[in-house]
Amino acid sequence: MKVKFSQSFIVFVIFGLIFVLGCSSDKPIVSESAGGSGYKIILASPGTELESGGSLTLSARVTDPDGNLVGNEDEAVLFSSNIGDIEFNESKADIKTGVATTIMTWEDSSDDEASEPSKPALITATYRGAFAQIQIMLISEDF
């Protein structure tokens, strides 16, 4: 069964979820919508920064080649990062009515001898060949 909602309604719902689920920085970030045919993903976060020990709830909106929201599928959205010590409570998140969510956490590895600097992380969501990326700044304890 395919579910159809207007684009404006979907964007409103995604931003509503982001703000309800909490913010760790001053503004939300949403990935660009990929062009071309096939499945599409839009990845959103309630903030652009993640402090050490904090968390962000990420949402990925998935549409099929016809632009319809993907229903509850057997395949999941895969969340990943270019930074090895970022964790996702569900690196493979199920799609519920077109949206998959996960909670991202990070702890810096600073110790008494060496401080880890703040650094950017590239977060990726993938599904059936489609992908979306956003950048989140990881804020170390010492910065």
State pLDDT tens for residues 105-125.
999 887 767 778 899 999 999
What is the residue whose two structure tokens read 């991202």? 104
How many residues in total does the chain contain? 143
The CATH architecture one would assign to domain 7-139 is: Sandwich (2.60)
Q: Is 98 left (phi over 0), alpha (psi -120 to 50) or beta?
A: left
Q: Name the token pair of 48.
A: 């652009």
Write down the domain spans for the chain. 7-139
Q: What is the pTM of this model?
A: 0.78
126 DSSP β-pair partners:
78, 131
Phi (first) and psi of residue 118, to 5 degrees: -65, 150
Tokens found for residue 47: 């903030």
Q: What is the pLDDT of residues 75-98, one digit of tens each?
A: 899 999 999 899 999 999 999 999
Number of other residues whose CB lies within 10 A of the CB of residue 68: 13
User: What are phi and psi for residue 136, nearest 5 degrees?
Assistant: -120, 130
